[in-house]
């Protein structure tokens, strides 16, 4: 699997060497993927904060800890 990834990176680098537009396109795609990942992580953090009062209520009512942790 690592070898396949290395080959993909080499091929991408070869394509980008002679084509500045392709390099820019690849960087743009990678940046968008990074932003999407960060947005998903932010949403997960936000969801956890919103769920914290519910988790505490469940723990109080049932005596069960580590719910949704």
**pLDDT tens digit sequence for 6-50:** 888 888 788 778 788 888 998 999 999 999 999 999 999 999 999
Q: How many domains does the structure of the chain reveal?
A: 1
Q: From CA 32, how far away is CA 56, in angstroms rounded?
A: 36
Q: What is the mean pLDDT of residues 41-60?
A: 91
Let me know if residue 21 belongs to a domain.
Answer: yes
Q: From CA 2, how far away is CA 15, in angstroms rounded?
A: 20
Let me know if residue 69 belongs to a domain.
Answer: no
pLDDT for position 36: 97
pLDDT for position 51: 92
pTM of the model: 0.61
Let me know if residue 53 belongs to a domain.
Answer: yes
pLDDT for position 41: 97
Let me know if residue 67 belongs to a domain.
Answer: no
Domain that holds residue 50: 2-62
């Amino acid at each position: 699997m690592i070898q396949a990834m290395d080959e993909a990176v080499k091929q991408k680098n070869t394509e980008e060497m002679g084509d500045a537009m392709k390099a820019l396109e690849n960087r743009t795609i990678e940046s968008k993927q990074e932003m999407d990942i960060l947005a998903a992580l932010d949403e997960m953090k936000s969801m956890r904060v919103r769920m914290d009062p519910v988790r505490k209520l469940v723990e109080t009512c049932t005596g069960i800890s580590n719910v949704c942790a």
